[in-house]
A and B are shown apart, each in its own frame.
Chain A
């Protein structure tokens, strides 16, 4: 477990170093490997505390699906907001509602909150335990169960597999 998370962190740091320097020169590569090794050694404990899951083929496939759906939702959100801004009467009907989530680990909740912020018309204001406080620019349902079904369900079924 510890060696595995050390390896993930090391590969991640090497990738960031390669994109930052964008050369394969020997000197740059040596310094990068050295710095990544030291950082990965000292940060492995924090990485385990974050609760990131172990990799598997199914999780990577769901992660790619998730990225595709997230990008589609981001583009839809921008067209929606652009329509509401440019319309002369501004057809908005804002309100603050509560939704519920079934995810357990902290990092999964953070990813869910960020995804909700980027999707059409919703914006995460606060998280307390299992509940999220959402500002909704066009309120369709005030009830907590219906709001959960409309806002959170489309991401949660993927995140439950990825972080499960």
Chain B
């Protein structure tokens, strides 16, 4: 039981590190949001659930914290992405298509 929880926690911490690395390395704010959302959501969830597996009497409360993170982290990152889209942060040079202007005017053809 202790070993299984340790392995789950270890995978979670590696994903947390990858999230930090992605926020540092990727070129513009939208790509950083991708790394910052996905890696930290799964990383934090696995770390917390792993602690719950290692200490079985804590399991239900850690599950509650994990589900809370799984529900709220995409929402807060979506709010940040929408704010940077509305305030006009440009995309990086590698980008191939940008349809946000059509979207604001309501043209969806």
Contacts and interface: CB of A to CB of B under 8 A. Distances in A.
A16 B99 CA distance: 42
A129 to B, nearest CB: 8
A117 B25 contact: no
Contacts of A78: 15, 38-39, 42
B99 A117 contact: no
B87 interface: no
A14 interface: no
A137 B82 contact: no
B9 to A, nearest CB: 16
A121 B41 CA distance: 14
A74 B98 contact: no
Given A114-B75, A117-B77, A137-B31, A85 B22 contact: yes
Interface in A56-115: 74-75, 77-78, 81-82, 85-86, 90, 92-98, 100, 113-114
Contacts of B61: 19-20, 22
B91 A117 contact: no
A92 B27 CA distance: 10
A94 B99 contact: no
A85 B21 contact: yes
B108 to A, nearest CB: 5
A107 to B, nearest CB: 13
A71 to B, nearest CB: 9
A137 B37 CA distance: 13
A125 B63 contact: no
Nearest to B35: A81
Given A92-B94, A94-B92, A96-B91, A131 B75 contact: no
B18 interface: yes
Contacts of B85: 125-126, 133
B75 A81 contact: no
